[in-house]
Amino acid sequence: MVRTLSFSALGLAALLAAGTAFAAPPAKTANGVLVGDKGMTLYTFDKDSNGKSACNGGCATNWPPFMAPASAKAEGDWTVITRDDGSKQWAVKGKPLYYWTKDKAAGDKTGDGFNNVWHAAKP
């Protein structure tokens, strides 16, 4: 009985340790789209390609990148790209993610379809 219990305790400890090895995704899903930590909609840009952002300068002023910390690591569908200025940005399924400055409240999606090249990011 003691031997079985100690193996069970070891098995539980291994499962708990494995569960903590994975970080939480950098964004969550709300109303069918990806949102940042304050519930603001995230967007993709059709002109981005091969995991590279085409939105810099004035574009990035209107469409702020969903920045990643320097220590961020890729996991699953989530990757980290390096922007032209050397900073890090989150991407999902190879598509860099952005906010839209005209969204004012959590749940706003006013950038979806903008100029037919900006789209609310889907999980």
8-state DSSP, 98: B
**What is the reported pLDDT for 7?**
42
pTM for the predicted model, two decimal places: 0.81
**What is the reported pLDDT for 80?**
97
12 has a pLDDT exceeding 80: no
The three-state secondary structure class of 93 is coil
Nearest CA to 95 out of 72, 116, 58, 66 is that of: 66
**What is the reported pLDDT for 50?**
87
The model's pLDDT over 34-67, given as tens digits with 9 standing for 90+, comes to 999 899 999 999 999 989 999 999 999 999 999 9
Question: Could you give the percent of the chain with pLDDT greater than 70?
Answer: 82
State the average pLDDT for the chain.
87
* Contact between residue 56 and residue 84 where contact means Cβ atoms under 8 Å apart: yes
